[in-house]
Amino acid sequence: MKKASLIVLICVFAVTAALAGALITLNVLNEWRIDFEPVPEPMIVIEAGDEFSPPEISAFLRGRFFAKEGIPAEVTSEGEADSSRPGEYVLSWSAELSGRTNKTSSHVIVRDTTPPEIVLIPEEREYILPGTAYDDPGFSATDSIDGDITGRVKIEREDDGKFLTLYYSVTDLSGNEAHAERTVKYDDPFPPTLTLSGEVEIKFYAGRQTYEEPGYAADDNVSGDITDRVKVEGSVDSETPGVYTLTYSVEDDWGNRAEASRTVTVVEPPKPRKVTVQKDYPQGGPLPDKVIYLTFDDGPGPYTAELLDILAKHNVKATFFVCGTGYTDLIAREEAEGHSVGVHCYSHVYGPLYASEEAYFADLWAMNEIVKEKTGSYTSLLRFPGGSSNTVSRFNPGIMTRLAAAVTEAGFTYFDWNVSSLDAGGTTDTGEVFLNVTNGIAGKNVSIVLQHDTKGFSVAAVDDIIEWGLENGYVFLPLTPTSPTVHHNIAN
């Protein structure tokens, strides 16, 4: 009996052990795990200010063979996301059941991509006066996250003199930018003032006085002194009776104009003016009543040889005021053919030339050395670049007054002119050169004509000018130190 019971116990123990082993094996093979449902997104991106609720996560214990539907497990969550502030937040979940655990998480990115807003207070003015400081009507800047960021606004200005443009920019803490711009027009509705010096009606006898401009001044409320912009139309022939009107006009930067006029009446003198001085007429007698001195500046040049041929054809002598050009060999021909040679300048650049008396004389003698080299002797004849009345030297006050006295003291005779061909800017037409010269000569006893042998169109008019002069009883002579001088009124 005892032996049978022992056998039964052994059998029961063996079966139990076998069942336990089988259960352990099945438990291992079942591969228990905890699953989350739904599975959280690894990264969640939301816009700042949007509503956000963390996802509801559940957990289940499941096996490969058993509990496939899952046994609910308690879920613990950690972390929170503030959707009102940009940043990166971490939400995590964990679950545990029957010795099994699992964890998962999501990164929540709260970003701000909404730019701020700049609001400009409207500008009610149609324009502002140039040169005045601009008073900004005002502006504001707000951001959906940062709130009022007006204090961060930066302003850049662009001013081209006609328009003022203001560029406004602001950046929020997330790097979003906003821009705005305002353009204001400059305008000046006020015309300048133009004032004439001296009398507005002037009268004098022909040949007894040379018209001298009394002067004028122009002032503008924006640009200030704009006298240098004044344009004068019209001219006065002091030798020819008539009524001459000079019109003065000036315009500011905004197209506003001012005008004025002056009337000059040149009256026929009681007795005709006649030249009777003993000068350099070839026969040695008194100077003829009708004399023309043709003078040419700025050469020799590419048209000088042609001019010499024209003069030779008529056996007419002229005067050449020469410069340091690339044609200086022609100076020798000018001298050899009986023409007068005078110094104009070595370098026709006004700034260095009129910088000082020393600078002027250095230039004069540099040119006179070339004259001596080509002709065998120095010349005492000269013409100032721009004439003695030039205004290009005004940057050096009084220089022309001092030079006129200095060259005379040094033994030079300087000549201006009383007839201009206007070939240095007034015209480029040969026919107009002819009319300018002949109209200027008419009515004068002594005419010193200004032309340039560097201008082909001007040289082309010389043949007709000579023929006209000879037909009308004029004598052509070259200038000498004893010739009648025409001196302009020195303006500096």
In a domain, 409, yes or no: yes
CATH number at residue 452: 3.20.20.370
Same domain, residue pair 441 and 300:
yes
Question: Structure tokens of 199?
Answer: 């009398």
Same domain, residue pair 78 and 125:
no
CATH number at residue 79: 2.60.40.10
Per-residue pLDDT tens over the stretch 295-348: 999 999 999 999 999 999 999 999 999 999 999 999 999 999 999 999 999 998
Q: Return the pLDDT at 203.
A: 83
Out of 172, 237, 297, 363, the active site residue is 297
Same domain, residue pair 130 and 97:
no
Of the chain, the percentage scoring pLDDT greater than 90 comes to 77
Please determine, for residue 189, whether its predicted confidence score (pLDDT) is greater than 50. Answer: yes
Residues 6 or more apart whose CB falls under 8 angstroms from that of 175 comprise none
In a domain, 487, yes or no: no
- pLDDT category at 284 given cuts 50, 70, 90 is very low
Same domain, residue pair 208 and 333:
no
- pLDDT category at 209 given cuts 50, 70, 90 is confident
- pLDDT category at 63 given cuts 50, 70, 90 is confident
289 tagged catalytic = no
Number of residues that make up the chain: 492
Same domain, residue pair 106 and 131:
no
Question: Structure tokens of 237?
Answer: 């022939």
Q: Return the pLDDT at 24.
A: 56
Contact 242, 181 (CB under 8 A): no
**Alpha carbon distance 286, 175 (integer Å):** 96
203 secondary structure, DSSP code: E
Same domain, residue pair 367 and 456:
yes
225 tagged catalytic = no
Same domain, residue pair 75 and 164:
no
70, 88, 111 — which closes off a domain?
111
Q: Return the pLDDT at 267.
A: 83
**Alpha carbon distance 248, 245 (integer Å):** 10
Out of 172, 423, 452, 453, the active site residue is 452
In a domain, 24, yes or no: no
In a domain, 489, yes or no: no
Rounded to an integer, the average pLDDT of 109-132 is 93
In a domain, 488, yes or no: no
126, 158, 185 — which closes off a domain?
185
217, 232, 267 — which closes off a domain?
267
Same domain, residue pair 364 and 463:
yes
Residues 6 or more apart whose CB falls under 8 angstroms from that of 349 comprise none
Per-residue pLDDT tens over the stretch 418-435: 999 999 988 999 989 999
Q: Return the pLDDT at 4.
A: 64
Per-residue pLDDT tens over the stretch 257-269: 999 999 999 888 6
Chain centroid to Cα 400, Å, comes to 33
- Scored b (16 or more CB within 10 A) or e, 346-382 reads beeeeeebbeeeeebeebbeebbebbeebeeeebbbb
Which residue type sits at 103?
Answer: K
Which residue type sits at 243?
Answer: V
In angstroms, how far is the first alpha carbon of the chain from the final one?
158
**Alpha carbon distance 383, 35 (integer Å):** 111
Total domain count, the chain: 4
Please determine, for residue 277, whether its predicted confidence score (pLDDT) is greater than 60. Answer: no
**Alpha carbon distance 70, 58 (integer Å):** 11
Q: What residues are paired with 340 via a beta bridge?
A: 319
pTM, entire model: 0.46
Same domain, residue pair 350 and 428:
yes
Q: Return the pLDDT at 210.
A: 85
Cis peptide before 300 (omega within 30 of 0): yes
Per-residue pLDDT tens over the stretch 12-46: 555 555 555 555 555 567 788 999 999 999 999 99
**Alpha carbon distance 425, 451 (integer Å):** 11
- pLDDT category at 68 given cuts 50, 70, 90 is confident
Q: How many CB atoms lie within 10 A of CB 454?
A: 21
Please determine, for residue 278, whether its predicted confidence score (pLDDT) is greater than 60. Answer: no
- pLDDT category at 206 given cuts 50, 70, 90 is confident
In a domain, 222, yes or no: yes
- pLDDT category at 8 given cuts 50, 70, 90 is low
The domain of 337 spans 291-476
In a domain, 281, yes or no: no
Positions of E strands within 38-162: 43-47, 58-62, 71-73, 75-78, 87-97, 100-111, 117-120, 139-143, 147-148, 154-159
Q: CA-based angle 73:76:81, to the nearest 5?
A: 140
Same domain, residue pair 175 and 210:
no
Coil vs helix vs strand at 258: strand
Same domain, residue pair 303 and 433:
yes
Measuring CA to CA, how many Å separate 276 from each of 208, 291, 292, 398?
16, 12, 15, 34
In a domain, 448, yes or no: yes
Rounded to an integer, the average pLDDT of 470-490 is 93
Same domain, residue pair 149 and 253:
no
Q: Return the pLDDT at 275.
A: 33
